[in-house]
Amino acid sequence: MSDSSPIRVGIVGARGHVGAELIRLFATHPRFTLAYVGSRELAGQRVVDHSDAYKGDLRYTSPTNAELPTLGADAVVLALPNGKAADCVAAFDAAGADPVIIDLSADYRFEDGWYYGLPELTRDRYAGQRRISNPGCYATAMQLAVAPMRAHLDGAVQCFGVSGYSGAGTTPSDKNDPDKLRDNLMPYALTGHIHEREVTRQLGHAIEFMPHVAPHFRGLTITANLHLSAPMTRDQVVAIYRDAYADEPLVRVLDEAPWVSRIAGRHHVEIGGFALSDDGRRLVVVSTEDNLLKGAATQALQNLNLAFGLAETTGIPLVAAS
């Protein structure tokens, strides 16, 4: 493949909130080009009628799993609900096809054979794997908020999470019903959320996670409560975060606590606040991200860029820090 040849990508689950963001990113990417976009509900319809970013002639199709390997994509992004990826993966295995597969769901995040792609924390472990599991949206914000302090923790970290309702996907439920969310904050899965296990496993440190969903559409906030093994000053803490993320274009360390209203539509994570108790033994850190972007589609693109030897932020529109 020459340096400028197109890399063909297929999206399975392209009608969803994440699928729509993936189409937008691939539409303007210098190397990736859409080979197919799969949706049962939109099959036959033109992508241009659903995406203001896409300019070509492609229409949504609804291939069976068995047909997927015959469509000839170099990479396949699975943006399906949880529990649906395995049948697609099995179809590629059965056909002896080995495209790069990125799964956005929770299905392979605990599989040792798959690379867990949270680039800022795991890219050193990338060694050409062709099966990549994309982290959960809350799990991304929690890990980036806690990881720099891993060596200084004493006991479990508590994370209070609030997500916009796009996090709950398009299948109707209380968690994406604007009427039930109006003037409301809806707690759910207060113990044992899958992202609690995901972060605990990845950080090798206990995390206690309490998620909520709110009336806004996109963007999530994590407020993390960290007990420290020895007293620290705020300056020490801020220096640790600034040092950890100094070379990371998709992580911005702020002095103040970030607001979710400022992160919607942006591709990076913001981390700030850094409030210390009077005894210097308890630290509260706040992180925000757009759940559909750094929490899903943008991170998938970072992982795809890495897998194809491109600069990790290729095709990711970064806005300068204000």
Interface residue list for ligand NDP (CB under 6 A): 13-19, 39-42, 79-82, 84, 104-105, 136-137, 166-167, 169-171, 291-292, 295-296
Amino acid (one-letter) located at 138:
Y
Q: How many Å separate Cα 206 from the centre of its chain?
A: 21
Long-range contacts of the stretch 302-305 (C-beta < 8 A, 24+) = 302/117, 302/119, 302/250, 303/102, 303/115, 303/117, 303/119, 303/132, 303/134, 304/9, 304/32, 304/75, 304/77, 304/100, 304/102
Check residue 313 for interaction with ligand X2W (CB under 6 A): no
Q: Residue 243 has which token pair?
A: 């040092």
Tokens, residue 77: 């992004």
Q: Which of 163, 287, 303, 305 forms a contact with ligand X2W (CB under 6 A)?
A: 163
Nearest C-alpha neighbor of 224 from the set 287, 278, 276: 287
* Edge-to-edge strand list for the sheet holding 75-78: 60-61, 32-38, 7-12, 75-78, 100-103, 131-133, 115-116
Least distance to ligand NDP, CB of residue 173, Å: 10
DSSP characters for 39-60? -STTTTSBGGGT-SS--S--BE
Name which of 190 and 239 has its Cβ closer to ligand X2W.
190
Classify residue 157 by its DSSP letter: E
- Residue 167 contacts ligand X2W per CB under 6 A: yes
Q: Which is nearer to ligand X2W, 35 or 106 (CB)?
A: 106
- Contacted by 17, from ligand NDP, ligand X2W, none: CB < 5 to 8 Å by type: ligand NDP
Q: Which does 212 bind (CB under 5 to 8 A by kind): ligand NDP, ligand X2W, none?
A: none
The verdict on whether 137 is a catalytic residue reads: yes
Buried b (16+ CB within 10 A) or exposed e, 122-139: eeeeeeebebbbbbbbbb
In this complex, which beta carbon is closest to ligand X2W, that of residue 7 or of residue 213? 213
Subset of 170-189 contacting ligand X2W (CB under 6 A): 175
Q: Which one, 67 or 208, has the nearer CB to ligand X2W?
A: 208
Position 211 contacts ligand X2W (CB under 6 A): yes
Binding mask 115-154 for ligand X2W (x = CB under 6 A): ---------------------xx-----------------
Given 137, 144, 146, 251, the catalytic residue: 137
Q: Radius of gyration (Cα) for the chain, nearest Å?
A: 20
213 binds, among ligand X2W, ligand NDP, none (CB under 5 to 8 A by kind): ligand X2W
**Taking Cα atoms as reference points, which of 219, 150, 149, 211 lies closest to residue 186?**
211
List, by residue number, the catalytic residues.
137
Binding site for ligand X2W (CB under 6 A): 82, 105-106, 136-137, 163, 167-168, 175, 194-195, 211, 213
